[in-house]
Each structure stands twice: as C-alpha cells, then as structure tokens.
Amino acid sequence: MKRRVLAQLIEHARRVRDDAATRAAGACGEADKAGQTLDLLASYRDEQLERSRAGATFDAALIGVREQFTRRLDAAIDEQSRQRDRLATLADERKAELLERQRRLLAFETLQQRREDARLATARRADQRQTDELAAQAISRRTSRSNHDS
C-alpha cells in the first residue's frame, strides 16, 4: 500500500471515528436527559402521593381524580423508563462503535509508523554503507600511498 493511500485511509478513519464520537456523545446526552426526565416524574409522583396522604381527604370524587392522575403518572413513568432503557442501550452501542472506529484508526496509524520506522532504518543502513565505503576507500588510498612512497 502506497504512503499516499495509507494517509488517505487514516484521514478517512479519523473522520469516521469523529462522526462516531459525535453520535456517541449525542446518544449519551439523550440517555442522560431521559434519565433526568424519569427522575423528575418519579419525584413528582412521590410528592403527589405524599400530599395526598397528608391531606387524607375522604371525598370520593377527589380520591378518584387523584387515583386516575396517579395511574397516568405511573404510565408516563413506565414509558419514560422504557425510553431511558432504549436510549441507554443505544448509547452503549454507539460507545462500542466508537471504540471499534478508534481501534481501526490506531491500526492504520500503527502501520504508518512501522513503515516510517522501516524507511528510516533502511535510510540509516544506506548511509552507514556509504560511510563504510568512503572509509574503506580512504584507507585504500592511504595504503596505496604508503606502499607507493616506500
């Protein structure tokens, strides 16, 4: 794989990872909001139950209205609980997707780094061979001059 192609793959993997991070953050935020709404509804229901106990009115019509209201509130809490659970599951899926995208990007970056390391090692070896060759030539010239001078 050519260096340019690998760089393009890395750039694409970064964009995909960043998109996955955005989706994961959004899903976590939605799950948190659903949890907060659920907490608010449950808290409101608890307050209403506490008020109805404190008022302890025996008016049948009022008791019926309160019971109907409490049933509706319970139904809303149940629905909100399901919604929170769905969003929490989605958030977990998005986090898993983000981790997978990050792993893929890291694999490409690792490959790029290994190739760069190999390229540098090859260049160092070539430089060393050239230096060794120049040194050998210099020694050969000195030896040749010494033998020539004798």
Task: Give the model's pLDDT for residue 51.
Answer: 81
Q: Which of 10-14, 20-24, 144-148 shows the lowest mean pLDDT across its residues?
A: 144-148
Residue 57 has a pLDDT of: 64
The arithmetic mean of pLDDT across residues 33-44, rounded, is 96
Inter-residue contact 45 to 133 (CB < 8 Å): no
For residue 150, pLDDT over 70 is answered with no
H-type alpha helices, the chain: 3-55, 60-149
Rounded to the nearest angstrom, the gap between the alpha carbon of residue 79 and the centroid of all alpha carbons in its chain is: 29
- Model confidence at 54: pLDDT above 80: no
If you average pLDDT over every residue of the chain, what do you get? 92
Q: How many CA within 13 A on the CB side of residue 77?
A: 14
| Residues whose CB falls within 8 Å of the CB of residue 83, separated by 6 or more in sequence, listed in order | 34
DSSP type of residue 98: H
The per-residue pLDDT for 56 is: 63
Is the separation of the CB atoms in 117 and 15 below 8 Å?
Answer: no
Measured between alpha carbons, how far is residue 60 from residues 46, 52, 71, 74 in Å? 21, 13, 16, 21
Domains of the chain: 3-149 (1.10.287.1700)
* Percent share of the chain, pLDDT over 90: 75
**For the purposes of burial, counting CB atoms within 10 Å of the CB of 31, is it exposed (0-12), middle (13-18) or buried (19 or more)?**
buried
Q: Which residue has the higher pLDDT, 63 or 131?
A: 131
pTM metric for this prediction: 0.72
